[in-house]
Chain A
């Protein structure tokens, strides 16, 4: 087998990158968009709304085949199966209602108390509801809520009022989400309160970790954190409502119940055989209130979480975390990279370059080259500093043979030299980033 020269390979991939198919003319585009909108409307009117989180990832049609695997033909058209599907759904709903009635009495959609619509005062002793999955809900009086699903993917909708969720650790394929008019709260085994008020929802996490989403923004809250969301953005919480205050004691109890360990001791029996026995938790210890009011921990999160914040459109939060981590002496180079990513997302390229170069100086050779390449790219493309970019590429040995970004770095260097009017000859071409 002969060898392909890197230069030819690079030329071919560049050609492919520059390829543009023939543009559609306006009438064709109009017709295509019209058909797409019609198909979209038809799908909305002919089937129940699908939850975005069905199928594991956001809203991507999960039936789409991947990588050329042929779509298995449906045995019958969907319209023919609709009566059966509706019947099955109705049966499941009846079974769920009967099960709920057996476990928790009448499944009141509105908790006992005064009429929530006319009497906004919330408080008093909450009602407890146990789900078949083991999750427990404490519902403040006057709360209007609905158990949308009690299956593996449990969903509770809260229209107004306050609700405490004590969610058992979830298994594979399980989920627990609370929807409010202003956002969504997703959990993985935790205790939290959702308080829905006029135009906003306040979420407080008592134990574990939850993910809250509003207006396309996502945040992960940990124990002790509290946030308010209004359907568009997050901001700091406000004074607890009577409903939320009424749920404090149940929250402490739920957290204490989780904190009480079930201990298994192995004792030696008189005959010499080891005997295992379960030691009941000390009631006095269980009754200790958990630090519900503890302030958010001052430790920075892991860098991966900070990166997710950047991807979720919250670079400012990631920047704060990175600066806190650097201040406290955590791994400098990794956090400098996060800081650079956040600064870049905040459109502060000069500071991002400085962060990437600091990261490159602190990393070993491979990661140093990556960080250096990122800095050089911004210098050249965003700051219009080709000489500085060349210097950065050389300083962090981005074009060396063992660099993981050698191919891209060589391409960048060639482009920079072209801009500077220099020759690109010299045998610098390398394969495009072969690992």
Chain B
């Protein structure tokens, strides 16, 4: 099922939110906030608007969760809203922000490798900024977040076949753009030599 399942307590809190429990809503938002921010961060990349997007998403969820009736998984429901909030920011000329987008390095990772990883990640999001938003979402949900096309289709509210087509085209776009990137090309040449 989902690559990132919600904890049981979240489902329980969602049930209480539906019955009008405001304290449960606050607890649920607090519980979900780190996960939501992670989703948005991976959808948007290193952008200064991440805080704004997080705030927007929390507001949308605070309004929507009391109407959540459990017809889909809570994770799918939250992800669907996160995708919509992120989609509003795709078209904007975002300022690149010096955000930490990598996990804390293990001691074994040398600074050079770490800098290289950061560069690669920046290149990926530069490429993603240039492709169609629907394909970008398909790519992030499936290739990055690890959802199957069927699960990603449920999040987007489209047919699985459509999601597969989007994913295929997104991969083609991303691979082509990265292959033409000078930094990535140098990296490839360095490995071969």
Measured CB to CB, the residues of A under 8 A from B are 1-5, 7-9, 11-13, 15-24, 28-29, 32-33, 35-37, 39-40, 43-44, 50, 52, 57-61, 64-71, 213, 215-218, 311-313, 341, 344-345, 431-435
Task: Across the interface, name the chain B residue whose C-beta is closest to A213.
Answer: B69
Given contacts A18-B103, A32-B33, A58-B77, contact A50 B67 (CB under 8 A): yes
Task: Across the interface, name the chain A residue whose C-beta is closest to B64.
Answer: A59
Interface string of B3-31 (1 = CB under 8 A from A): 00000000000110010001001100110
- Asked if B185 and A2 sit within 8 Å, CB to CB, the answer is yes
- Asked if B179 and A12 sit within 8 Å, CB to CB, the answer is no
Given contacts A4-B184, A311-B73, contact A36 B55 (CB under 8 A): yes
- Is B153 on the interface with A (CB-CB < 8 A)? no
- Asked if B100 and A21 sit within 8 Å, CB to CB, the answer is yes
Could you list some 22 contacts between A and B, CB below 8 A? A2-B179, A2-B180, A9-B174, A12-B178, A16-B144, A20-B102, A21-B37, A21-B46, A37-B62, A40-B66, A50-B67, A57-B157, A58-B77, A61-B60, A61-B63, A70-B91, A213-B71, A215-B70, A218-B70, A432-B171, A433-B142, A435-B167
Residues of B within 8 A of A313 (CB): 70
- Asked if B133 and A12 sit within 8 Å, CB to CB, the answer is no
A341 to B55, CA, bound (A): 36
- Asked if A36 and B71 sit within 8 Å, CB to CB, the answer is no
The A interface, classified by DSSP as helix, strand, loop or mixed, is loop
Residues of A within 8 A of B134 (CB): 67
A431 to B143, CA, bound (A): 11
Interface string of B86-118 (1 = CB under 8 A from A): 011111000000011111000000000000010
Residues of A within 8 A of B157 (CB): 57
A22 to B38, CA, bound (A): 9
A70 to B90, CA, bound (A): 10
Residues of B within 8 A of A67 (CB): 87, 90, 132-134, 137
Given contacts A19-B101, A39-B59, contact A60 B77 (CB under 8 A): yes
A29 to B34, CA, bound (A): 9
Residues of A within 8 A of B54 (CB): 24, 32
- Asked if A66 and B102 sit within 8 Å, CB to CB, the answer is no
A173 to B67, CA, bound (A): 21
Residues of A within 8 A of B168 (CB): 434-435
- Asked if B88 and A71 sit within 8 Å, CB to CB, the answer is yes
B115 to chain A, nearest CB (A): 12
A213 to B73, CA, bound (A): 14
A44 to B58, CA, bound (A): 16
Please pick, from B67, B100, B143, the residue contacting A22 in the complex, using a CB distance under 8 A.
B100
Please pick, from A3, A18, A19, the residue contacting B179 in the complex, using a CB distance under 8 A.
A3
B130 to chain A, nearest CB (A): 13
A90 to chain B, nearest CB (A): 25
- Asked if A19 and B91 sit within 8 Å, CB to CB, the answer is no
A12 to B58, CA, bound (A): 29
Please pick, from A1, A4, A22, A66, the residue contacting B87 in the complex, using a CB distance under 8 A.
A66
- Asked if A345 and B69 sit within 8 Å, CB to CB, the answer is no
Residues of A within 8 A of B117 (CB): 15
Please pick, from B15, B59, B69, B171, the residue contacting A36 in the complex, using a CB distance under 8 A.
B59
- Asked if B179 and A64 sit within 8 Å, CB to CB, the answer is no
Interface string of B164-175 (1 = CB under 8 A from A): 100110010011
Please pick, from B68, B102, B171, the residue contacting A18 in the complex, using a CB distance under 8 A.
B102
B111 to chain A, nearest CB (A): 16
B121 to chain A, nearest CB (A): 5
